Amino acid sequence: MPAFRPPKSSGDDVATTKIVRRLGHNESYQLGLYMLNQYRGTSVSGRYQIPRPLANPDQQEKLVGIVEAALCDNIMKHHVLHVGILDATSSRPAFVQLDSLELRQHIEWQFLDASAHFEAALQHLTEIQIDAPYPRLNKQPGWGVVVLHQKGADFLEIMFTWSHPHADGMSGKIFHQSLISSFFSRGMNDKHPDMDAYTLGLPRSLPKLPPPIEQIMSLPLGTGYLVKMVIDDIRPPILTHFRSFTVDDSVLSQILAACRQHQTTLTGLFHGLVLAALATHLNKGAASGFEAATTIDQRRFVPSAPEGNPWLEPKQTIGNFVSIMYHTFEPELVAKVRSAALSTPEAPSAVLSEELAALIWEAAVQVRREVSDKVDLGVRNDLTGTMRFVKDWRAQLSKVARKPRHASWLITGLGILDGEAPPANESLEMNGEPSPTDSWRIRRAQFVLSAEVPGAALNISPLPSRVSDSALVVAGRMASLMKPWDALSWLIWNSGWG
Q: How does DSSP assign 416-478, residue by residue?
A: -B-----S--GGG---SS--GGGS-EEEEEEEEE---TTS-SEEEEEE-BSSS-EEEEEEETT
Task: Using DSSP, state whether 232 is helix, strand or coil.
Answer: coil
The pLDDT score that the predictor gives to residue 243 is 65
Mean pLDDT of 34-55: 92
Phi, psi of 262 (to 5 degrees): -95, 10
Most confident of 15-24, 98-107, 405-414: 98-107
CA distances from 483 to 241, 281, 420, 470 (A): 12, 12, 32, 18
Buried b (16+ CB within 10 A) or exposed e, 289-306: ebebbbbbbbbebbeeee
Q: What is the pLDDT of residues 430-439, one digit of tens each?
A: 444 455 567 8
Q: How far apart are CA 111 and CA 120, in angstroms?
A: 14
Choice among 196-205, 238-247, 388-397 with the minimum mean pLDDT: 238-247
- Cβ contacts of residue 345 below 8 Å, gap of 6+? none
Phi, psi of 182 (to 5 degrees): -65, -40
The answer to whether the pTM exceeds 0.85 is yes
Mean pLDDT of the chain: 83
Choice among 79-93, 121-135, 164-178 with the minimum mean pLDDT: 121-135
The pLDDT score that the predictor gives to residue 344 is 62
pLDDT at 216 over 50: yes
Domains of the chain: 14-214 (3.30.559.10), 219-493 (3.30.559.30)
Q: What is the pLDDT of residues 357-374, one digit of tens each?
A: 999 999 999 999 999 999
Choice among 172-181, 256-265, 416-425 with the minimum mean pLDDT: 416-425
Q: How far apart are CA 298 and CA 467, in angstroms?
A: 26
First to last CA, the chain: 53
Phi, psi of 301 (to 5 degrees): -95, -15
pLDDT at 497 over 50: no
pLDDT at 232 over 50: no
- The more confidently predicted of residues 467 and 493 is 467
Task: Using DSSP, state whether 264 is helix, strand or coil.
Answer: coil
Choice among 62-66, 138-142, 197-201, 435-439 with the minimum mean pLDDT: 435-439
Choice among 69-78, 265-274, 284-293, 478-487 with the minimum mean pLDDT: 478-487
